[in-house]
A and B are shown apart, each in its own frame.
Chain A
Amino acid sequence: MPGELAAQAVSALATVSPEPGAAKPEPLLIADGVNRHFGGLVAVDVTHVEIQKGAITALIGPNGAGKSTFFNVLSGFDKADAGTWSFAGVTITNTAPHRLARKGMVRTFQLTKSLSRLTVMDNMLLGAGGQTGESMVASVFPFTWKAQEKKNRERAMVLLERFNLAAKAQDFAGSLSGGQRKLLEMARALMLQPELVMLDEPMAGVNPALKQSLLDHIRDIREEGTTVVFVEHDMDMVRDVSDWVIVMAQGKIIAEGTPDTVMRDQRVIDAYLGAHHDQQLTASGDSLTEGTSS
């Protein structure tokens, strides 16, 4: 059952024209002229893109389309060769990742980065922002951070309950299964109370049962008013959960729209399956060499 905020997001996007670089009614993240190349290879070349606030936006595209690179650039883990981008009206071009996280923009990774030899609870506590006790001087005076720590602990416990990890709170994160690590990473990101969550392939290597629960969690995140952007290969997930889909191919954004529009878009089908996917390789009875050379 879609909640109120979900309905709002859908209705807000209904009027947006399904064109690459379309303007959104309430953009949270705006990127202009972002370019990243490795030698002669242009990995990312995005002219203009806007991410709607309060919606779930999927970033899809075939392998090597530049999705992850674009993601890394936006989240400060890679430097762009050109371009500007802003978050909630503030320019954040080439800003260091830890500063972005403090501004309310937090990401997860394709290969989960659970901190193995820390307990699940410590992983969660590490996510909490603005901790006094993280200053070296204050850390030796527990009275300066004990109260804050207690509050963070309570908040972490609530999140762990929600993500079904409460029983594991005192276990090492390294002892969790792959799917549980995905959950932990998502829960840990929420400890920062971010405005924007960027998930890099949240479904990679997750079993179908857990997929459903991850999808529910992503919807819940939006229900709390948090904007979600994710990179994904899993088309079922994209169709299921996203309000808006941005398609990249060869570093460029080639299409945008609601999931249904995008799936029917000829440019998208061409990008994924090749422009000649519905043509026979060998024209009726002709030789093989002639067919492939066309």
Chain B
Amino acid sequence: MDMGFVLTQAISQAIGVTAIIYLLATMGLNIQFGYTGLLNFGQIAFVAVGSYAIGVFMVQWQGSAFVPNLWVAIIYALLLSVVLALILGVPTLRLRADYLAIVTIAAGEIIRLVFKSTDALGGAQGINGKMGEEFYAINPFPQQDRFDFGPLSYTRNDVWVVTVGWVVIALLLLLTWALMRSPWGRVLKGIREDEDAVRSLGKSTYLRKMQALILGGIFGTIGGIFWAVAKQSVQPDSFVPAFTFFCYTILILGGAARVMGPVIGALIFWFLLVFIEQFLLLLIDNGTITFLEPTQVGPIRFILVGVGLMLLMIFRPQGILGDKKELALDAR
């Protein structure tokens, strides 16, 4: 173990599968919270729906005529995501913003507990099995065991997953950019600032809020699909509320309502998290730190990241890409 290893680990995690999943979910939150002001505290519900749809359709219902292959399963997953957004949005989007927050945080937990307690959906064991064979079958990378990019080394499957992940992210970023510079995006930002003003100007805010909720949810579900395909395993207890809060952390760190905000946020968040962990392990390993056990490093890295975030909020509350002038304006 040396400093080079620490950095390599940190970089590979910052651009790795987990970071990609969080980033996709956060890009959805950016549309919902950053641009439209919708307080969705249950983004994990959309991620879980994506993961479980793939898990159930590809493993539990293996060979069913209803789901002939992965691609159809992905389409179903996206449709289920829309259904979830409608279930959450129809009753709450007419009400004040805080109701959506309450309903979404509850929905995230309900969905997790339903998956955990229903055997047909994997139960407490979750679902394990081949979930992405069709995906790995079209891997265009040449047959070799490892791919080395400088100090980074990936397996053939990993390099395919990560490549597709970042291509999908790039396309969705492009979509976000195109949407948010349009008059539609302007209405969303108007809703964030003052819904009644937008209504008084002849725009249906309910429709736009619903569209934003659905679109942001779909981004999260794409993250969930990616999760299932990349990890080939879906565990109910991975879908905890903390996921959503990490997404908010990433969003605010990078800068809300900025197209590239979630990207910067996710890269830095995962780099720091892994860097701190590996660096502490290194120091323990070579005897510099004697008052910590390696098992204590996991929790401590979150403490340190928390301190870092507090410093960020104090010295740069608008996030890395944000505009301080904009934040200083009163909301009304």
Q: Interface of A with B (CB < 8 Å)?
A: 75, 77, 96-99, 101-102, 106-109, 111, 113-118, 122, 125-127, 129, 131-136, 138-140, 142, 145, 149, 172, 174-175, 188-189, 191-192
Q: Decide: A140 and B178 in contact? CB cutoff 8 A.
A: yes
Q: Which residue of A lies closest to B203 (CB)?
A: A98
Given contacts A111-B332, A136-B179, A140-B179, whether A77 and B187 have CB atoms under 8 Å apart is no
A96 to B201: give the CA distance in the assembly, Å.
Answer: 11
A109 to B197: give the CA distance in the assembly, Å.
Answer: 8
Q: Decide: B201 and A106 in contact? CB cutoff 8 A.
A: yes
Question: For the complex, is B190 an interface residue (Cβ under 8 Å from A)?
Answer: yes
Q: Decide: B187 and A134 in contact? CB cutoff 8 A.
A: yes
Stretch at the interface among B47-55, B240-248, B278-286, B322-330: B322-330
A126 to B196: give the CA distance in the assembly, Å.
Answer: 13
Residues of B with C-beta under 8 A to A116: 193, 329-332
Closest 3 pairs between A and B when the two form their complex, measured CB to CB: A174-B329, A101-B202, A133-B183
Interface set, chain B 195-232, CB cutoff 8 A to A: 196-205, 208, 211, 215
Residues of B with C-beta under 8 A to A101: 199-202
Size category of the B interface is 20 to 34
Q: Decide: B186 and A122 in contact? CB cutoff 8 A.
A: yes
Chain B interface mostly: helix
Residues of A with C-beta under 8 A to B295: none
Residues of A with C-beta under 8 A to B193: 115-118
Interface set, chain B 145-187, CB cutoff 8 A to A: 175, 178-179, 182-187
Given contacts A140-B175, A149-B183, whether A115 and B189 have CB atoms under 8 Å apart is yes
Q: Which residue of B lies closest to A108 (CB)?
A: B200
Residues of B with C-beta under 8 A to A109: 196-197, 200
Given contacts A139-B184, A172-B325, whether A113 and B197 have CB atoms under 8 Å apart is yes
Given contacts A101-B200, A139-B185, whether A113 and B175 have CB atoms under 8 Å apart is no
Q: What sequence of 0s and 1s flags, for each residue 83-103 of chain B, a beta carbon within 8 Å of any chain A beta carbon?
A: 000000000000000000000
A118 to B331: give the CA distance in the assembly, Å.
Answer: 11
Q: Decide: B190 and A118 in contact? CB cutoff 8 A.
A: yes
Question: For the complex, is B194 an interface residue (Cβ under 8 Å from A)?
Answer: yes
A133 to B208: give the CA distance in the assembly, Å.
Answer: 13
A161 to B182: give the CA distance in the assembly, Å.
Answer: 24
Residues of A with C-beta under 8 A to B184: 133-136, 138-139
Q: Decide: A125 and B196 in contact? CB cutoff 8 A.
A: no
User: Can you spell out 30 A-B residue pairs with CB atoms less than 8 angstroms apart?
Assistant: A96-B204, A97-B196, A97-B199, A98-B200, A98-B202, A101-B202, A109-B197, A109-B200, A111-B332, A113-B196, A113-B197, A113-B200, A115-B198, A116-B329, A116-B330, A118-B189, A122-B186, A126-B190, A126-B203, A129-B202, A132-B183, A133-B182, A136-B179, A136-B208, A136-B215, A140-B178, A140-B182, A145-B182, A172-B326, A192-B202
A135 to B184: give the CA distance in the assembly, Å.
Answer: 6
A108 to B329: give the CA distance in the assembly, Å.
Answer: 21
A84 to B204: give the CA distance in the assembly, Å.
Answer: 23
